[in-house]
Amino acid sequence: MAFNEHLNNFIKEFEISSIKAIEIANNFKVAMEDGLIGKASSLKMLPSFIGKPSGDEEGVFYTVDMGGTNVRGAKFQIRNREFKNLDEVKSRLKDPDGKFNFTSKETTGEILFDFFANCVYQIMGEDNKGYLGHTFSFPSSQTGINEAKLIHWTKEIQVSGVEGRNPNTLLHEALKRKGINIEPVAIINDTVGTLLVAEYMYEDADIGVIMGTGHNACYLERKHPLTGKDMIVNMESGNFNVGLPITKYDRAIDEKSVIPGEQMLEKMVSGYYLGEVASLVVEDLYAQGALFKGNEKAINIIRKKGLEAQNVGSFITDIEKTINEYECSMEDAEVLRTIGETLVNRTARLIVSTLIGIMLHIDEGEIKNPHVVAIDGTIYEKMPKVPALMEAALTEFLKEKAELVSLKLVKDGSGLGAAIAAAVAVKSL
Ligand code: BGC
């Protein structure tokens, strides 16, 4: 096979045609509607017990944000729909040099939540009282705004003794162990936090998306079957799996994951896995003689360092850096750039397909209302070309209807959103 043919085959495997996109959108809508009424579905459709904040929320609130890569404790003031960040502290869950790892099996829930309590301790100052909102970005079934149960970890976290338990009870116990009188009153998903903040900013905000280490989306259900009222639903869309064009690379990643068979869409689009997909493609093209021909050094550098999402990003933007870092030719760097662009384009097009499914559900089969989609996360914010690729995909898939849809970067929903949720919860204490 000629050199380019291998590359072309790889590009084809990762393509999402507009026909496929609409098929995914329709499958997604069906999965939402099944999940919402409790039928078997890959979408968990978890109720959040929060809808649209009224906008008159006020006060100072603590927040803890557990995303998977970092944990952040913060203190916010909310007033007149505006926020002030009074203080914050952020810690990595895993030391890059391997000195500590709060995501491993050996870490117990107690150790993890003591670590969170310590973040709160560092910012609480003298007062030692107040209310706290917790953004906990993992699939959790809820029976109230402060009542959650972790269904299972995602993003390859394995901490023991947390699944099946209420993270806010664990947090409260940890705070008490440290003599902290701050009370957790709300627990939300990061997508929910992003949408809450967007609801403060845009009248038509009805979808919240995270494109970061993990992937997920939520939306505002106007008549939730549980309450008949507005409620944000955390779909756990990273677990969507109906009719996805899964490649052999995705399958290989799934097989060696700690949760095989789960989070299929997330494994295809999110930051945690993007570098791994790229590594597998690089290995394959190398084996086929379509990359680093006669340059064993380059493949060994990649094998040694591994690839992460940010490396995929720099394949796209910085050919010179690629040549220097991997000691490869211009031709090889261009192949790496194509790999990066192809993977990122697949992410953008798959996620847009699911967004169309959500809007089809909200508008009952035909997109006719304006929608603001609030998006946060490093893949949307920092990965080259992603917002433009998503806009282009929307126009390609929806034609003139795309004008009804605005994609907006909404930052720090996991901090501010948790403060809003705490403020809402406190009103009904
Ligand atoms: C989790 C979601 C979360 C998403 C983004 C996924 O792995 O299951 O709950 O919203 O990551 O952080």
Q: What is the DSSP string of 329-376?
A: -HHHHHHHHHHHHHHHHHHHHHHHHHHHHHHHHHTTTS--S-EEEEEE
Which two structure tokens, joined as six digits, stand for 375? 């998006």
Q: What percent of the chain has pLDDT over 90?
A: 96
In angstroms, rounded to a whole number, what is the distance separating the alpha carbons of residues 319 and 183? 51
Give yes or no for residue 361 having a pLDDT over 90: yes
H helices of 51-189, in order, are: 109-123, 167-177
Q: Mean per-residue pLDDT for 178-202?
A: 97
Rounded CA separation 148/312 (Å): 36
Is 80 exceeded by the pLDDT of residue 2?
no
Query: Given ligand 1 and candidates 70, 103, 137, 140, which is best to mutate, with the most ligand atoms within 8 Å of its CB?
Result: 137
Q: Could you give the 3-state DSSP secondary structure of residue 53?
A: coil
Nearest CA to ligand 1 atom 1: 138
Pocket-forming residues, ligand 1, beta carbon under 6 Å: 67, 137-139, 154-155, 189-191, 210, 212, 214-216, 236, 238, 266
Q: Whose CA is nearest to atom 8 of ligand 1?
A: 138
Q: What pLDDT, on a 0 to 100 scale, did the predictor assign at position 3?
A: 54
- Give the chain's mean pLDDT: 96
Extract the tokens encoding 270: 């999110």
CB 235 within 8 A of CB 44: yes
How do residues 296-305 score in pLDDT, each as one tens digit? 999 999 999 9
- Tell me how far the alpha carbon of residue 64 lies from the centroid of ligand 1, in angstroms: 16
Ligand 1 center to 154 CA (angstroms): 7
pLDDT digits (tens, 9 = 90+) for 374-403: 999 999 999 999 999 999 999 999 999 999
**Cα–Cα dist 196/205, whole Å:** 9
pLDDT band at 177 (very low <50, low <70, confident <90, very high): very high
pLDDT tens-digit map of 9-31? 999 999 999 999 999 999 999 99
